[in-house]
Amino acid sequence: MTSNEDFYQVLGVSRDASQDEIKAAYRRAALAYHPDRNPGNKQAEEKFKRASEAYSVLGDPEKRARYDRFGTAGETGQVPWDSVVFEDFQDLFGNLFGFGDIFGKGRARGSRAQRGSDLRYDVKLTLEEAFFGKEETVELPREAPCDKCRGSGSRSGQRLACPTCRGRGTVAFQQGFFTVSRTCPQCSGEGEIVRDPCGECHGRGRVRSQKTLKVRIPPGVDSGSRLRIGGEGEIGERGGPPGDLYLFIEVEEHPFFKREGEHLFCTVPLSLPQAVLGAEIFVQTLDEGEEKVKVPPGTAHGQRFRVPGRGMPRIGSSGRGDLYVDVRLVTPKRLSKEEKRLYEELARLERDAEQNPGGFFRKVIQKLAEGK
């Protein structure tokens, strides 16, 4: 701090600021410029030192009064920045921002069980497999307790409290007026050490393994469906519960059916005589049967017919979606002599109908034009 620098300006407060306002200003500066939050930043470290020095004077009413009167806190006006200590630092930072564990006043880290990680497994199904459901064999690489040491990591089965952190998993050290807690370097936060490491797991208590699961995928799943298998994830640490296994489903496209949720859509060809005269057509379904669809006379190209209950199964229900059949008129490219003769006769009849106002085809055309 230079001798001509104003402590009030350093903290950004007015000379008539209350002690609470000075304390709040310093708290903001400490949070912004503390070296732990700005590692290697010399400029931030210097600002932190200046703010700490200013608060060491202005935060003390007696020193502040002396500073206001004489422009100095003592004979030199210099107060070491790292001599500032709050009566209850956790009340200042920990309770307000949830930093209690950081400053060494939280629970012992080594005593807390941790839940294991969740695992993901991607499953690709055909539409038929999604329709009927499937038993999937899942080969699952994951960590499991070491059989040789029964998960203790020790040949004798004994784990000792870490002498460095005394079982907490963290060590505290003083940095200025801060008491900072960090992961114990000896036990890596476990809170325990192994004197005689297991030769199989090298003291970890866990080994990589392969587990085979039989998982039943229910009928009706779709792309984006997610199935949860409880307790089949990674094992927990320090006695914590295992994570879960999640199966993410992707259903492949089908060459004939299109799917939209629980409904299926397909397109079938229809000849011109069938469209004109009406017909009964048979549509293949996913459950290995054919469904009869009645096509009425005068069916147009692209007309859609609904077949109730022949779509995809509903998950968790006995019901099913619907099947929608779109017809596509097919024009013959090759005709036999007889077929050609008949089409020519039909064309002649249509020409006669156009010339005869009272003809049948003429009446049909008139009605269509009138929208009847």
Distances in whole angstroms, Cα of residue 352 to Cα of each of 254, 272, 342, 346, 369: 48, 21, 15, 10, 19
My answer on whether 25 and 54 are in the same domain is yes
My answer on whether 229 and 272 are in the same domain is no
My answer on whether 241 and 316 are in the same domain is no
The answer to whether 50 and 33 have CB atoms below 8 angstroms apart is no
What pLDDT does 297 receive? 92
Sheet holding 119-125, edge to edge: 119-125, 245-251, 226-229
What pLDDT does 334 receive? 85
pTM above 0.75, yes or no: no
What pLDDT does 177 receive? 58
Instruction: Report the helix count and the strand count for the chain, using DSSP H and E.
Output: 10, 15
User: How many structural domains does the chain have?
Assistant: 4
My answer on whether 65 and 183 are in the same domain is no
Cα-only R_g, the chain: 41
Q: What are the tens digits of pLDDT across the range 129-168?
A: 999 999 999 988 888 888 888 777 888 877 788 888 888 8
Question: Tell me, what CATH number does 65's domain have?
Answer: 1.10.287.110
My answer on whether 307 and 238 are in the same domain is no
Q: Is residue 141 part of a domain?
A: yes
* Structure tokens belonging to residue 248: 């993410």
Expressed as residue numbers, the domain containing 132 is: 119-159+199-251
What pLDDT does 126 receive? 96
My answer on whether 232 and 154 are in the same domain is yes
Question: Tell me, what CATH number does 324's domain have?
Answer: 2.60.260.20
Q: Is residue 354 part of a domain?
A: no
Q: Is residue 153 part of a domain?
A: yes
What pLDDT does 372 receive? 47
The answer to whether 210 and 222 have CB atoms below 8 angstroms apart is no
Q: Is residue 189 part of a domain?
A: yes
My answer on whether 17 and 54 are in the same domain is yes
My answer on whether 225 and 323 are in the same domain is no
Q: Is residue 90 part of a domain?
A: no
Q: Is residue 226 part of a domain?
A: yes
My answer on whether 143 and 187 are in the same domain is no
Successive 10-residue mean pLDDT values, the chain, 372 residues:
72 90 89 81 88 87 80 47 39 41 40 77 95 91 82 80 83 68 80 83 81 92 93 79 92 95 94 89 88 92 93 89 94 84 80 63 52 48
What pLDDT does 357 receive? 56
My answer on whether 184 and 273 are in the same domain is no
My answer on whether 134 and 247 are in the same domain is yes
CB neighbourhood size of 3 (10 A): 9
Q: Given the DSSP bridges, would you call strands 258-260 and 323-330 parallel, antiparallel or unpaired?
A: unpaired
Q: Is residue 132 part of a domain?
A: yes
What pLDDT does 91 receive? 39
| Backbone φ, ψ for residue 79 (5° rounding) | -125, 125
Q: Is residue 52 part of a domain?
A: yes
What pLDDT does 141 receive? 85
